[in-house]
Amino acid sequence: MNNLIVAFSILMFSVSAWSVAEEDVIYLKGIESQISQTLENKAQLAIEIEELKSRITDIEKKLNRRKILISQRIRASQSLQRSEWAEFLLDPDFNRVERNLRILKKLSEYDSKIFSEYHRTLSILKMSKKNLQDTEDQFSSSIEQLQKQQDEFFTLEQIRIESLQRSKTESLLLHKGKLTRPLEGYLKVDYGATSDPTNLYYTFSRGVVYNSARNQAVRAIGLGKVIFSDVLPHWGKTLIVQHDDNYYSVYSAVADIKKSVGDSVAQGEAIAKAARTEFYFELRHFDNPINPSGWFTERKK
């Protein structure tokens, strides 16, 4: 969605002067951005923890193989000592003595290499365990940080609502929990970070993906104006609607678009149809993607 990010950057430039005067908006915008970053960091740390655990398991297996090999070499050395060194070294045949010495030298070098590799592997294991502990500590801190940020966000959001009500200023925020769902479908991909510990990767979705039926109605979540209508990579035709107080809703993978740039839309008005079996939606405040959960009316039973 790089084109979408560019589009929002241009839009945000046009409203930056207005936002300076609204301190509560600035704080709210800032904490929204922080929460998004913390969620992404948390997912990355979760993957790093799984990678470190996997690495430690591999190192421990390697270390156990080294231990077995060392035990075998110790037993072989003890067996050689019991068989009388004199017979091994004082063979009347000089060529055999010379060969035996070369064998002993090779065995000594081999044993030395085994012990060195064992100690090196042990050091790597200790370091990996320390890294794991440090990463787990960071992960715990990110959870605490996220909780604090979310608490602060809800406080700032309530302050903003009270400010809007006092000034009788319209905002999409005042309709939170009462907005129309963009499409009556079930979530396939939720907002935020999703990690896959098995395959060791994570993805971060700045919006949500719904399972949809082709030609299913796509509706405006609230009162607003269409400010963008174009084709984006991967998702295809996309609409962006601007709402009061610098909130924006994004509708991607749509067809049969019924509105043009500059057109007003009413809450619940059909603005397009789903173009395929997946429909992408984003909710943004300024250029910050925000979690749309809790913004819509309850799903119909």
Paired residues of 205 in beta bridges: 192
Residues 109 and 29 in one domain: yes
Q: Where among 118, 138, 169 does a domain terminate?
A: 169
In a domain, residue 50? The reply is: yes
Q: In what order do the strands lie in the sheet with 270-274?
A: 217-219, 270-274, 254-255
What are the angstrom distances between the C-alpha of 274 and each of 190, 219, 291? 18, 10, 21
The predicted model gives 217-224 an average pLDDT of 96
Domain containing residue 30: 18-169
Q: What is the pLDDT of residue 14?
A: 42
Task: Point out the least confidently predicted range of 61-75, 217-231, 239-253.
Answer: 61-75
Q: What is the pLDDT of residue 16?
A: 42
CB burial class (10 A; 0-12, 13-18, 19+) of residue 97?
A: middle
Cα–Cα dist 46/43, whole Å: 5
Residues 27 and 144 in one domain: yes
Residues 221 and 276 in one domain: yes
Residues 153 and 132 in one domain: yes
**pLDDT tens digits, residue range 80-91?**
555 555 555 555
Q: Where among 148, 169, 190 does a domain terminate?
A: 169
Taking a C-beta distance cutoff of 8 angstroms, is the pair 282, 207 a contact?
yes
Residues 69 and 128 in one domain: yes
Q: What is the pLDDT of residue 228?
A: 93
- 208 pLDDT above the threshold of 50: yes
pLDDT greater at residue 234 or residue 295: 295
Identity at 92, one-letter amino acid code: P
pTM score:
0.67
Angle at 114 between CA 108 and CA 115, to 5 degrees: 90
**pLDDT tens digits, residue range 110-133?**
666 777 777 788 888 889 889 889
In a domain, residue 11? The reply is: no
Residues 73 and 135 in one domain: yes
Q: What is the CATH number of the domain that holds 97?
A: 1.10.287
Residues 151 and 188 in one domain: no
In a domain, residue 91? The reply is: yes
In a domain, residue 7? The reply is: no
Residues 281 and 212 in one domain: yes
Cα–Cα dist 256/274, whole Å: 8
What are the two backbone dihedrals, phi and then psi, of residue 226, each rounded to the nearest 5 degrees? -70, 125
Q: Where among 113, 146, 169 does a domain terminate?
A: 169
- 191 pLDDT above the threshold of 70: yes
Q: What is the pLDDT of residue 179?
A: 96
In a domain, residue 4? The reply is: no
Residues 165 and 189 in one domain: no
In a domain, residue 114? The reply is: yes
Residues 78 and 115 in one domain: yes
- 261 pLDDT above the threshold of 90: yes
In a domain, residue 301? The reply is: no
Residues 34 and 106 in one domain: yes
Taking a C-beta distance cutoff of 8 angstroms, is the pair 272, 229 a contact?
no
In a domain, residue 10? The reply is: no
Residues 264 and 123 in one domain: no
Tell me how many domains the chain contains.
Answer: 2
